[in-house]
């Protein structure tokens, strides 16, 4: 049963703390993405990765970091430098580099991050 | 600067009637367009897409129309059902300098309510 999993569903962060959100896919997709959604807003791109060991900043990368050591995994760390981290975080993947439908992104269920 | 705009934050229709969701874009480099459906606290679900070489794509009750000269696309749902009530996001993809499509730019979404 292929898909994208995100964990945890809810995450609480204390002031000055770094937290890491997990994203795993078994779709054999090359590209992976992290988005942030705020109330009444669309999805804003944080980071994306087209291939293992490579990633690029999106539109709102400040205060976040990522790694892509395995094709299946793309964890996102929300650092203490992110001053307004409360949001719904979405991970997505797409076939990526070639083939029909390579642009279509498939999303995980999301993680809601709350600040204590 | 919003490159993808969904100017109607909400839309309400009666069950069985047609729902028309609209989307405008400003970037002429966009060449692939997608619609996603999203329920609260869940990840978006891919609905339908269209390439810029076409002006219409149909999948069951869902049809997307593209008017390139007006930089406008619309999603038609016929007939509308109460289960269609959700937020609908329009997204667009364009080639980066390297020539591969991988990033999506999202609109802010339209909340569709289908009344029984």
The pLDDT tens digits for B52-87 are 999 999 999 999 999 999 999 999 999 999 999 999
Nearest CB neighbour to B103, from listed A48, A88, A107: A48
Order the strands of the A19-25 sheet from edge to edge. A4-7, A19-25, A76-78, A64-66
Phi, psi of B22 (to 5 degrees): -110, 155
Q: Which of B41, B89, B101 sits opposite A43 (nearest CB)?
A: B89
- Taking the Cβ of residue A45 and every Cβ of chain B, the question of whether any pair is shorter than 8 Å is answered with yes
Asked if the Cβ–Cβ distance from A101 to B43 is below 8 Å, we say no
The minimum CA-CA distance between B52 and chain A, rounded to whole Å, is 13
- CA separation, residue B60 to residues A1, A3, A100, B79 (Å): 24, 24, 20, 10
pLDDT computed for residue B101 by the predictor: 54
Q: pLDDT digit string (tens) for B29-38? A: 898 999 999 9
CB-nearest partner of A42 from B101, B102, B107: B107
Instruction: Please list every residue in chain B whose beta carbon sits closer than 8 Å to the beta carbon of residue A104.
Output: 34, 46, 49
Please answer yes or no on whether A42 and B108 come within 8 Å at the CB atom.
Answer: yes
State the Cα angle at B106 between B79 and A10, rounded to 5°: 95
Residue B68: closest CA among B24, B107, B8, B103 = B24
C-beta separation of A33 from A47 below 8 A: yes
The verdict on A60 touching B (C-beta cutoff 8 Å) is: no
Residue B42 has its nearest CB partner, among A43, A94, A109, at A109
Strands B62-67 and B45-51, bridge-based pairing = unpaired
**pLDDT tens for residues B37-47?**
999 889 999 99
- Whether B43 has its CB under 8 Å from any CB of chain A: the answer is yes
CA nearest to B18, candidates B114, B106, B95 = B114
**What percentage of chain B exceeds 70 in pLDDT?**
93
Other CB atoms within 10 A of residue B9 CB: 11
- Match 């593209």 to its residue by tokens: B66
Q: Note the pLDDT of residue A99.
A: 60
Instruction: Evaluate if residue A84 carries a pLDDT over 80.
Output: yes
Residue B96: pLDDT band by 50, 70, 90 thresholds? low
Question: Which position has the higher pLDDT, B54 or B98?
Answer: B54
In Å, the largest CA–CA distance within chain A is 45
For A49-79, write each residue's pLDDT tens digit. Answer: 989 999 999 999 999 999 999 999 999 999 9
């Amino acid at each position: 049963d292929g898909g994208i999993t995100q964990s945890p569903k809810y995450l609480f962060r204390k002031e000055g703390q770094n937290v890491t959100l997990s994203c795993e896919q078994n779709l054999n997709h090359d590209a992976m993405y992290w988005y942030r959604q705020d109330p009444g807003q669309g999805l804003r791109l944080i980071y994306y990765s087209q291939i293992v060991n490579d990633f690029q900043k999106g539109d709102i990368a400040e205060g976040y970091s990522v790694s892509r050591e395995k094709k299946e995994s793309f964890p996102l760390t929300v650092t203490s430098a992110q001053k307004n981290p409360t949001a719904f975080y979405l991970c997505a993947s797409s076939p990526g580099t070639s083939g029909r439908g390579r642009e279509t992104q498939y999303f995980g269920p999301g993680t809601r991050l709350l600040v204590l | 600067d919003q490159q993808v705009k969904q100017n109607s934050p909400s839309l309400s229709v009666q069950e069985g009637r047609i729902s028309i969701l609209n989307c405008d874009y400003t970037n002429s480099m966009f060449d692939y367009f997608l619609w996603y459906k999203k329920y609260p606290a869940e990840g978006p679900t891919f609905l339908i897409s269209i390439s810029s070489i076409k002006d219409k794509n149909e999948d069951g009750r869902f049809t997307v129309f593209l008017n390139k000269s007006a930089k406008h696309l619309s999603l038609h749902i016929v007939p509308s059902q109460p289960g269609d009530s959700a937020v609908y996001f329009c997204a667009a993809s364009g080639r980066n300098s390297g020539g591969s499509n991988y990033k999506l730019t999202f609109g802010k979404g339209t909340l569709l309510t289908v009344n029984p």
